């Protein structure tokens, strides 16, 4: 049996970024003084982070506001020069090998406009076609596939300024992927998307990843997005990586509970069982949280089946938000790849 180990397509070593800014007090006099005598302050956005990402992975980069997520993405994309450290993406140094590098890279920045504002989105797509030298047949096939999958046919000829935020975000995604890049960096890509659009977006990412082996890094505050798309996550806080590993392992490490949602055929008596907490009990529904460090799930299931007329049982993990909150509270530093 031959085991094939995927190669690292992104390697980051001891990456640091320090922003230098000056501060002054309010008022005209202080504004004039600051022209000649400035007091500087330094913000350490990244404090020596290191990680590797394998080809074909979808990795979530998460953390609170100001943690260093966007700085990391902008450095990987070549928009920012780091203060120190090493970055290699497909053996390119992003800020040095810009011309060759961008031909293999797709970027979506949720807070930055990447389409021609006064022109229809289709014009931006044709501009991408010319910039990347995409053959006509390939371009048309790929474009039709993407706009159909994302439901964009009706807005292709609408000026970008007249689109909704969600429509613009989906068009940005199309523009970033038309040239079939090897690596795609998505910074808050689902801003403005409704529930249906988010599901289309996730499905689109999964299909592109599976079909082309495209590597994705996604930053988002939507933890459902992370759970549905990513097997591995990198958690960054105050410019330091506090966790780098499998999503399922972090749940095991930080959570000791399970949720059970029960549908009943008939109303039952109030639920009471040691090491279990009733979240909801009304009519024909029952919600329970189990302390799995002190009570086995099987024991609770057996109890429910013996005491209630059960129609359906769904067992789930707590939301990933709880995991993240726990890590930020503890500020644990788990650098190892699990």
The burial class, CB within 10 Å (0-12 / 13-18 / 19+), for 206 is: middle
Q: What pLDDT does 192 receive?
A: 74
Residue 155 · residue 187 · CB < 8 Å: no
Query: Which burial class, exposed, middle or buried, applies to 280 when counting CB atoms under 10 A from its CB (0-12, 13-18, 19+)?
Result: exposed
- pLDDT, position 53: 96
Hey, what are 125's tokens?
A: 């797509």
If the chain, 338 residues long, is cut into consecutive pieces of 10 residues, what is the mean pLDDT of each piece? 64 94 76 75 92 96 87 93 95 93 90 83 93 93 91 90 88 92 91 81 91 93 84 91 87 77 90 92 90 90 92 82 68 45
For position 61, what pLDDT does the model report? 93
Q: What is the pTM of this model?
A: 0.77
User: Taking the mean position of all CA atoms in its chain, how far away is CA 100?
Assistant: 26
pLDDT of residue 104: 95
Domains of the chain: 8-34+42-246 (3.40.50.300), 256-316 (3.30.70)
Tokens 């994302």 appear where? 150
Q: What is the DSSP string of 64-82?
A: STTSSHHHHHHHHHTSS--
Q: Which residues pair with 183 in a beta bridge?
A: 105, 215
pLDDT on residue 273 = 93
């Amino acid at each position: 049996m031959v085991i094939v180990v995927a190669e690292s397509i992104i390697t980051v070593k001891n990456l640091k970024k320090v922003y230098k800014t000056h501060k002054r007090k309010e008022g005209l006099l202080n504004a004039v003084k600051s022209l000649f005598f400035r007091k500087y302050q330094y913000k350490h956005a990244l404090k020596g982070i290191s990680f590797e990402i394998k080809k074909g992975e979808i990795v979530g980069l998460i953390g609170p506001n100001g943690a260093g997520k966007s700085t990391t993405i902008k450095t990987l994309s070549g928009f920012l020069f780091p203060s120190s450290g090493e970055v290699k993406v497909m053996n390119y140094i992003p800020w040095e090998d810009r011309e060759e590098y961008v031909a293999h890279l797709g970027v979506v920045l949720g807070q930055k406009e990447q389409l021609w504002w006064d022109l229809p989105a289709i014009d931006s797509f044709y501009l991408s076609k010319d910039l990347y030298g995409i053959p006509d047949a390939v371009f048309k096939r790929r474009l039709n596939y993407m706009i159909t999958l994302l439901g964009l046919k009706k807005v292709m000829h609408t000026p970008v300024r007249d689109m909704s935020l969600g429509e613009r975000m989906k068009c940005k995604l199309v523009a970033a992927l038309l040239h079939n890049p090897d690596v795609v960096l998505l910074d808050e890509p689902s801003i403005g998307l409704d529930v249906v659009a988010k599901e289309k977006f996730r499905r689109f990412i999964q299909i592109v990843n599976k079909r082309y082996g495209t590597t994705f890094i996604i930053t988002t505050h939507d933890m459902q997005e992370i759970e549905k798309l990513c097997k591995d996550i990198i958690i960054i806080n105050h410019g330091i990586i506090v966790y780098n590993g499998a999503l399922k392992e972090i749940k095991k490490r930080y959570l000791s509970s399970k949720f059970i949602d029960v549908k009943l055929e008939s109303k039952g008596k109030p639920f009471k069982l040691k090491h279990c907490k009733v979240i909801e009990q009304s009519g024909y529904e029952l919600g329970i949280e189990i302390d799995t460090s002190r009570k086995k799930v099987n024991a609770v299931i057996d109890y429910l089946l013996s005491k209630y007329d059960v129609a359906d049982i769904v067992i789930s993990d707590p939301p990933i938000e709880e995991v993240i909150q726990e890590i930020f509270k503890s500020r644990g530093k788990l650098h190892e790849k699990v």
